[in-house]
Amino acid sequence: MESRKATVRLKADTTHDRFANVVSGFSRTTAIAIALICAAAIISAQTGAPQTPIKIGFMVPLSGGNAQNGRDILNGFLMYLDEIGYSAGGRKIELIVEDDEAIPAVGLTKARKLVERDEVHVMAGALLSSTGYALAPYITSMKIPMVYPVVSADDLTQRRRSEWIVRTGWSGSQPNHAFGEYAYQKLGVKSVVTVALDYAFGWESVGGFERTFLAQGGRIRQKIWVPISVHDFAPYLAQIPRDVDAVYALLLGRSALQFMRQYQEFGLKGRVTLIGGGTTTDEHVLPFMGDEALGTVTALHYSAALDTPANKTFAETYRTRYKKIPSYYSESMYTGGKWLIAAINAIDGRVEDRQALVEALRRVKPEGLPRGPVELDQYGNPIENVYIRRVERVNGQLQNTVIDTFPGVSQFWTFDPARYLSEPLYAR
Amino acid sequence: MAARRTTVLDWRTLLAWLCALFLLVAPPFLSAYWVGLLTQAVILGILAMSLDLLIGYTGLPSLGHAGFFGVAAYGVGVLSTTYHAGVWTSIAGGFLVGTLLAALLGLIVSHVRDVYFLMITMALGMVLWGLSFRWIPVTGGDNGISGIPRLEGLIGLPSGPVPFYYVALLVFAACMLLMMLLVRSPFGLTLQGIREHEPRMRSLGFNTWLHGYLSYVCAGAFASIAGIIWAYYNGFVSPTYLDLTASSELFLMVTLGGPATLVGPVIGAGAIVILKNVMSAYTARWLLILGIVYIVTILWAPQGLWNLGKRRSA
């Protein structure tokens, strides 16, 4: 700039005529420069905000006993973000991952960190119901849209729902309502003993099953509750009368593996049909089971063996990428991610408008999900297919073969939502 | 020797005052996130000091101390949500239930010492955890109790993290002062005597059982205070407040910071809160780093950070 002024002055000294030329030339350059700068400024003012990345805060347990499930959820999300090249609505996506350690207070601290320090636009994640409930008041007070891909506590989209929380997963009793009817009508089961983990997820699953099963005329002989830290099922299996038609088991992780093994050792396998909630034979434990798991019938909104083009592509890609079969946890945040990105695209990336984002989250209906068609009800819970799956060995590997499908199951099953909500939540 | 001790004392005092000044002045200039972390550090600082009364001053290693913290938090949770009690009723209720529980359990545990004390307090801690987990009509089981109203609003302060922080800091300062007076009182000196040589104290005519018992109750009372603020800070209560992990982390805060110093455990609490949160933002292997910190401390500062370079009188 300085040298240019000097040049101008030098030239101005020569002749009067040239001086005028130079001045006009100079002012023309200046004018163009100013115009360009202004234009640039205007463009950047218009697009400046959308040029900054969309920040997504994500939390699941990545350490402790639930780390594997948390890792699966994260894997599904990373896989989807890779597919779309980390961009949506014309903006880059920045993902911030936090470990909630499966401790509600830690989850809340991490949520505060994501919202107040990282200033994320939207959050996703959480695995345990306790964390889900602990975050809800904070999310509502901060007005941050959040996607719950897994947390299944019924009341989060029922009696204690928040307008800022959108659940793309399921509610605990949802597949079990369908399953109670199926067990009585199609499996011909008339009397059942339930063995379930003694916490909210167990109560709600068994509660849903019990309700429709009893309505059909079935009979629950006994409900056995096992502590979540259970190591040995012997005292519980010994209580099971041999003349019941079926045992309904709701377990997950290590407890599911242990149960299957001991069920066979106790001579129950082959004598008493084993049915259960979807997590009992979910793909997060299925590869570690043996023949003792064969024939178990369970209900869930997903199966890795689901025979649809969308799921085949998903399962195959996941398998290549992570060297294992996708569990329902893996699928949860693939779908959750797809959901979130669809909502961001629907509002052209203007995630600063949180109200618009949460409305879009409730409105969008992404296509081609691995688990089949999904849409949200007005309470923020998905209406989706429930699959009845039987454990079979195909090509040497165990899988949850889908043997029947209940299409478009709502969290209220066939009941009237208003009446359903006036009744108490399922408990022991 | 004397000169060296003075200088050692000096850097310690200076550091303590600097920390105090920082805690007092800095928060309005910090982001909400950091104020939140400091609030946590201050609340857990009260809890760590209360455990220091047992571990450091009385020589009673408790592995169930988070129990009182959690029970008081549940007191606040149940009273303020299920019964819609007022703020002062909830606070008083939480304090009473925690302290009375300490008075009750103290009768059981104060007969034993050393490793037996460790085991029995651990067992009682597990019982309390089990109760919080299984007494579903009252505690809500695994899901806990959420929806505890904000404390600032209830006591007429503007809402936000900074006012809440100063409430917590005020309580912290009051608790610290009380505990400092306690450990310097004849009662506190007797406790330290018991820690050093109980038979001798007994032969001098002290009722060592009663002293141990009262120390346990005091520690329980201060832990309850911390639990009350914690419940209001998080707005919910869950069984993880009083599980074994919580109790052992608390134990580590005291041993990391330096037992029998009061200030040390506060430093330990602050260090752990900040290390955990800052590190986990950068690496998924933060537990590894935390583990290394513990090991390094045990190897090079077995008496805790605050006692570093201080020669402990035998």
Based on its alpha-carbon atoms, the radius of gyration of chain B, rounded to whole angstroms, reads 19
CB of B72 closer than 8 Å to CB of B94? yes
Of A108, A110, A198, the CB nearest to B234: A108
Q: Measure the CA angle with vertex A21, ends A20 and A23; round to 5°.
A: 65
pLDDT of residue A260: 95
Show the tokens assigned to B213: 């018992």
CB of A80 closer than 8 Å to CB of A334? yes
pLDDT tier for residue A121 given thresholds of 50, 70 and 90: very high
Instruction: Count up the domains in chain B and report the number.
Output: 1
Give the E-state strand segments of A144-267 in sequence order. Answer: 146-148, 165-167, 191-197, 219-226, 246-250
Of B142, B235, B284, the CB nearest to A129: B142
Show the tokens assigned to B284: 């998924």
Amino acid symbol at A410: S
Alpha helical stretches, state H, A281-363: 309-322, 328-346, 354-363
Predicted confidence (pLDDT) at residue A25 exceeds the cutoff of 60? no
Identify the residue whose tokens are 């983990």. A197
pLDDT of residue A39: 54
Burial of B196-210, coded b for 16+ CB within 10 Å and e otherwise, reads eebeebeeeebebee
What distance in Å separates the CA atoms of residue B298 and residue B223, rounded to the nearest whole number?
A: 26
CB of A359 closer than 8 Å to CB of A351? no
How many C-alpha atoms does B189 have within 13 Å on its Cβ side? 3
Which residues touch B48 (CB under 8 Å, ≥6 apart)? Answer: B250, B253, B254, B257, B265, B266, B268, B269
DSSP tag of A395: T
Where is pLDDT greater, at B279 or A416?
A416
pLDDT of residue A249: 96
Give the E-state strand segments of B78-183 in sequence order. Answer: 145-146
Q: Per residue in A343-357, pLDDT tens?
A: 999 999 999 999 999
pLDDT of residue A32: 57
Q: Per residue in A141-197, pLDDT tens?
A: 899 999 999 999 999 999 989 999 999 999 999 999 999 999 999 999 999 999 999
Give yes or no: residues A163 and A216 share one domain: no
A52: left (phi over 0), alpha (psi -120 to 50) or beta: beta
CATH number, domain at A111? 3.40.50.2300
How many C-alpha atoms does B40 have within 13 Å on its Cβ side? 24
Crossing angle of helices B208-234 and B32-52, in 10° steps, is: 170
Predicted confidence (pLDDT) at residue A14 exceeds the cutoff of 70? no
Collect all residues from A whose CB is shorter than 8 A from any CB in B: 62-63, 98-99, 103-105, 108-110, 112-113, 116-117, 128-130, 133-134, 136-138, 153, 198-200, 228, 427-428
Give yes or no: residues A146 and A249 share one domain: no
Give yes or no: residues A203 and A186 share one domain: yes
Alpha helical stretches, state H, B141-285: 151-154, 161-184, 186-196, 198-203, 208-234, 244-257, 263-282
Crossing angle of helices A309-322 and A328-346, in 10° steps, is: 110
Q: Chain A contacts of B31, Cβ < 8 Å?
A: 116-117
Q: Per residue in A310-339, pLDDT tens?
A: 999 999 999 999 999 999 999 999 999 999
User: What is the distance in angstroms between the Cα of B14 and the nearest Cα belonging to chain A?
Assistant: 31
Cross-chain Cβ contact B143/A200 below 8 Å: yes
Give yes or no: residues A93 and A241 share one domain: no
SS3 A147: strand
Amino acid symbol at B18: L
Give yes or no: residues A149 and A82 share one domain: yes
Average pLDDT, chain A: 88
pLDDT of residue B2: 45
Nearest CA in chain A to B240: A103
Crossing angle of helices B244-257 and B263-282, in 10° steps, is: 120
| Torsion angle of the four alpha carbons A294, A298, A302, A306, in this order, in degrees rounded to the nearest 10 | 40
Q: Name the nearest CA neighbour of A245 among A185, A176, A193, A298.
A: A193
Per the structure, the complete domain to which residue B92 belongs is given by 32-243
Q: Is residue A428 part of a domain?
A: no
SS3 A269: coil
Which residues touch B31 (CB under 8 Å, ≥6 apart)? Answer: A116, A117
Show the tokens assigned to A39: 């234009």
As a whole number, mean pLDDT of residues A262-283 equals 94
Q: Is residue A114 part of a domain?
A: yes
Give yes or no: residues A256 and A237 share one domain: yes
Q: Chain A contacts of B80, Cβ < 8 Å?
A: none
Where is pLDDT greater, at A10 or A251?
A251
Cross-chain Cβ contact B36/A134 below 8 Å: no
Alpha helical stretches, state H, A52-128: 67-83, 104-112
Nearest CA in chain A to B231: A105
Q: Is residue B104 part of a domain?
A: yes
Paired strand residues for A220: A192
Q: Is residue A255 part of a domain?
A: yes
Residue A350 burial (10 A CB sphere; 0-12, 13-18, 19+): middle
pLDDT of residue A10: 41
DSSP tag of A118: S
CB of B57 closer than 8 Å to CB of B191? yes
What distance in Å separates the CA atoms of residue A334 and residue A339, rounded to the nearest whole number?
A: 9
pLDDT of residue B1: 41
Show the tokens assigned to B292: 């290394």
Which helix (H) or strand (E) is A258 found in, with range?
helix A253-265
As a whole number, mean pLDDT of residues A280-286 equals 94
Q: Name the nearest CA neighbour of B58 among B181, B193, B201, B161.
A: B193
φ, ψ dihedrals at B31, nearest 5°: -75, 160
Which residues touch A178 (CB under 8 Å, ≥6 apart)? Answer: A212, A299, A386, A388, A406, A409, A413
What distance in Å separates the CA atoms of residue B19 and residue A193, rounded to the nearest whole number?
A: 60
φ, ψ dihedrals at B81, nearest 5°: -105, -55
pLDDT of residue A188: 94
Cross-chain Cβ contact B146/A136 below 8 Å: yes
DSSP tag of B160: S
Predicted confidence (pLDDT) at residue A390 exceeds the cutoff of 60? yes
Identify the residue whose tokens are 């695209």. A345
Other Cβ atoms closer than 10 A to A157: 27
Q: Is residue A427 part of a domain?
A: no
Per the structure, the complete domain to which residue A107 belongs is given by 54-170+309-380
| Torsion angle of the four alpha carbons A138, A144, A150, A152, in this order, in degrees rounded to the nearest 10 | 50
DSSP tag of A159: T
CB of A379 closer than 8 Å to CB of A417? yes
Q: Is residue A67 part of a domain?
A: yes
pLDDT of residue B286: 82
pLDDT tier for residue A36 given thresholds of 50, 70 and 90: low
Give yes or no: residues A249 and A200 share one domain: yes
Predicted confidence (pLDDT) at residue A17 exceeds the cutoff of 60? no
SS3 A403: strand
Identify the residue whose tokens are 């897994």. A150
Give yes or no: residues A321 and A406 share one domain: no
Q: Is residue B223 part of a domain?
A: yes
Give yes or no: residues A329 and A395 share one domain: no
Instruction: Count up the domains in chain A and report the number.
Output: 3
Of B34, B37, B143, the CB nearest to A133: B143
Give yes or no: residues A283 and A220 share one domain: yes
Show the tokens assigned to A237: 């299996």
Q: Per residue in B145-185, pLDDT tens?
A: 988 988 887 888 888 889 999 999 999 999 999 999 999 99
Give yes or no: residues A46 and A58 share one domain: no
Collect all residues from B whose CB is shorter than 8 A from any CB in A: 31-34, 36-37, 40, 133-134, 136, 141-144, 146-147, 234-236, 238-241, 245, 277, 280-281, 284, 286-287
Q: Chain A contacts of B144, Cβ < 8 Å?
A: 104, 130, 133-134
DSSP tag of A286: G
**Residues of chain B under the 50 pLDDT cut:** 1-3, 313-314
Which helix (H) or strand (E) is A250 found in, with range?
strand A246-250
Paired strand residues for A219: A191
Show the tokens assigned to A352: 């600063």
SS3 A127: coil
pLDDT of residue B158: 86
pLDDT tier for residue A34 given thresholds of 50, 70 and 90: low
Q: Chain B contacts of A128, Cβ < 8 Å?
A: 142
Based on its alpha-carbon atoms, the radius of gyration of chain A, rounded to whole angstroms, reads 28
Q: Is residue B169 part of a domain?
A: yes
Q: ipTM score of the complex?
A: 0.81
Q: Is residue B89 part of a domain?
A: yes
Of B33, B134, B143, the CB nearest to A129: B143
pLDDT of residue B254: 92
Q: Is residue B143 part of a domain?
A: yes
Q: Name the nearest CA neighbour of A314 among A383, A325, A337.
A: A325
Nearest CA in chain B to A100: B280
Cross-chain Cβ contact B143/A130 below 8 Å: yes
Give yes or no: residues A246 and A205 share one domain: yes
